[in-house]
Amino acid sequence: MIYLIAILIYLAVLTVVGVVKAKQVKTQDDFAVAGRSLSPWVMVLTMLAVWIGTGSILGNAEEAYNSGMAALIIPFGTFFGLILLSFIATKARDIEACSVPEIIGNRFGTGARFLAVIALIMAYMVIVSYQFNAGGGVLEVITGDKAPLSVAMDEAVTKKQLTRGQLIYTPDTNYVGDAVVSIQPDGNNETLDYTIHVIAEDKFVETINALKQSDDQLENVVFIKAGDRSHIQFDEESLNSEHYRISGLPREGKVEYFEPKLSREKATIIAAVFIIIYTMLAGLKSLASMDVITGSIITISLVIAFPVMWFMAGGWDGMQASYLAMGAHEQHMKFWGVYSPIHILNYLLPVFLLVMGDANQYQRIFASRNSKGAKQAVVTLIFAALAIEMLIIATAWVAGSMTPEQTNGRYILIHAAAHLMPQALGLLFMVTVVGVIISTADSFLLVPATTFINDIYCKHINPKADEKRVVLISRALVVLFGVIAYFVSMAFSASTGFFKKALLAYTIYGSAITPSLMAAMFWKGATKAGAISSILAGTVVTLIWAPCLKGLLPENLQEVDAVLPAIFASIIALVVVSLNTSPSKES
C-alpha cells in the first residue's frame, strides 16, 4: 500500500504542474515546442527522460533478465546514434521547424510529408501502446494479490484464470523430492504437467548439474531449494483450450491460486486514462517541467540502486552461484559469445536509426532557445544516456540473480523495487519507473498529435485556423491517438515482451523516416521520388518481413530481423530512384 501512496502523491504533483502549465499555453508553439524556450540543462533532462523510457527500463531490463551480462552491449546503439545526432543538432535547430515530417515535406513535397506522418503515427502508436501496458503492469504489481485460494483435485479452472493469476506450490517443511502439478483440458485425455524438483540446499548445485547432463527432458521443469516455493506459470501458447481441470497435485505440500487485486486489463485502462489526460493539458510545456523532475530522479535512484543490489546479491561470486543454481542461466555471467553478430545488429541498428531521426528528440531540439544550446544538450546527453542505460541493464542483471521465477522477469525492475530493495530505495525506484513510463508515453503521444496538426490540418485542411482552435484540436487529437494506442496495446499478445515490441516500433520509424530525413538535410541530389520510394520501401518491408518474407530465407539466416532488409531497401530506394529522377520544383 505504501508504494501506491507514494505513486499517487507523485501523480498528484504532476497533475498540479500540468494544470499550472496549461494556463500558460496560448499558441501552438507553446503546446508543441514549449515556445522555443528550453535551456540546455532542461533540454538534457527532458531528452534523457523521454529516451530512457519503457523500452529501456522494462524492455532492456527484460532482455538483461533473459540474457544476462551480454545485454550491456545494447546501449551502444544509442551511444553511436547520439554522437551523430550531436553533429546534426545545430542544423536541425536552425531550420525553425515544428516536426520531422515538416523538414521532409519542405524539401520533398506533400507526398513525402504525408507518408512520413503516416509512418510516424504507426511507429508511435506501437510505442505508446506498450507504455500503457507498462503502466498497467506497475499498478498490477503494487496493488498486490487477493487472498490465496486452495486448489483441489478435479477443480475446474479456465485459461483466463491460469494466465491472469498463477498457481504457487509450497512444499512441506524439509520435504525433498519431486512434485507434479497437472491440468487437463475438457474433452481431452492429454495432460499438461509442471514438474518441481525440491532439492536440499547443500546439494542444490550438484543435483542441477547432474540433471542437466542427463538426457531427461527439462521442459516445464523448475528447481527450488527445500523450504522455497514455486510459481507455476503455464505457457499461454500451450493452452489451446478455454476450460481445464486440475488432474494432478503433489502428495506433499499445497497448491494455491493467487490472482492480482487489479486485473491487467483494468490497470492498463487506468494508466492510459491518466497519461492521455496529462498529455492533453499543456503539451510540451508540462512535459518539459515534469522531465526535469523525472530525469533527476532516474539518475539518483539508479546510482544508488546498482551498488545496493550488487551487495545484496553477494557480488560476482554470489551472482555466479545463484545463476548456476537457476539452471539454464550459465551464460548470464558472460559478456561475449552470448549474442551472434546477427543478434547484435538486430538489437543495435533499430535503436541507432531511431535516435538519428526520433521526432521526440528533434521536437526538443526545435524547442531549444538557440542552436548552440541544442548542440550542448545533445553532447551532454551522449554520456548521460549511456551511463543510465548501462545502469538499468546492470541493475536488472543483478536483480535477476535473486529472482528465479520466470514470471517476474518481464517486470524485473518493478519486482526488484517491490520485493528486493530496501523500502526507501524501493519507493524511490518505483516512482522512477512510473515517471519514466508517463514521460515517455506523454512524449510519444504528443508528437503524433502535433505532427498531424502541423503537417496535415494547418497545411491542407484549415490553413487559416486561429491559435485557439489549433490548440483545441491538438488536445482532441491527443485523446484520439491515445484511444488508438490503447486498442493497439490490446492487440499485442501477452507473450510478446517489451523488448521485441520496442524493436518493432524502432524499425518501422528508423527504416521509413531516418534515411529521408538525413537526405533532406544533407544530400542535395535526393529527389521527391527517391524520398517517397524510401519511406514506402522501409515501411512495407518492415511490416511484411516476419509474416511473408523471413520464412523464405535459408535456415542459417532465419535470425535476421526486419531492420536489416528494411533499412537496406529504404536506402537503396532513396539512392537509386534519386539518381534516376530529376529534382522537382518542390524539392
Print the SS3 string covering 68-123.
HHHHHHCCHHHHHHHHHHHHHHHHHHHCCCCCHHHHHHHHHCHHHHHHHHHHHHHH
Lowest mean pLDDT among 156-160, 483-487, 493-497: 493-497
Instruction: Write the CA distances from 356 to 43, 100, 128, 257, 282, integer angstroms.
Output: 17, 11, 19, 47, 27
Which grid cell sits at 331?
551464460
Higher pLDDT, 25 or 273: 273
- Where is 232: in which H helix or E strand? strand 230-232
**Average confidence (pLDDT) over 570-586:** 83
Instruction: Write the CA distances from 474 to 25, 26, 479, integer angstroms.
Output: 12, 13, 9
- Nearest-CA neighbor of 272 among 436, 126, 433, 441? 441
Label residue 587 by pLDDT band (50, 70, 90): very low
Collapse the DSSP code of 64 into the 3-class scheme (helix H, G, I; strand E, B; otherwise coil) and give the result: helix
Q: Does pLDDT of 280 surpass 90?
A: no
**Average confidence (pLDDT) over 524-544:** 92
**Average confidence (pLDDT) over 43-55:** 76
Higher pLDDT, 522 or 12: 522
- pLDDT at site 115: 92
Label residue 586 by pLDDT band (50, 70, 90): very low
- pLDDT at site 188: 76
Distance between CA atoms of residues 359 and 521, nearest Å:
15
Count Cα atoms within 13 angstroms, Cβ side, for 73: 18
- pLDDT at site 306: 93
281-290 residue pLDDT tens = 755 555 666 6
**What is the C-alpha end-to-end distance of the chain, expressed in Å?**
59
Distance between CA atoms of residues 398 and 416, nearest Å:
10
> Helices 371-400 & 412-419, crossing angle to 10 degrees?
70
Distance between CA atoms of residues 474 and 96, nearest Å:
20
74-89 residue pLDDT tens = 999 989 988 988 888 7
203 neighbors 274 (Cβ within 8 angstroms)? no
Label residue 556 by pLDDT band (50, 70, 90): low
Mean pLDDT of the residues in the chain: 81
Label residue 546 by pLDDT band (50, 70, 90): confident
Handedness of CA 578, 583, 586, 587 (dihedral sign): positive
- pLDDT at site 551: 73
pTM, two decimal places: 0.78
Distance between CA atoms of residues 57 and 389, nearest Å:
8
Collapse the DSSP code of 426 into the 3-class scheme (helix H, G, I; strand E, B; otherwise coil) and give the result: helix
Q: Does pLDDT of 410 surpass 80?
A: no
Rg (CA), the chain: 25
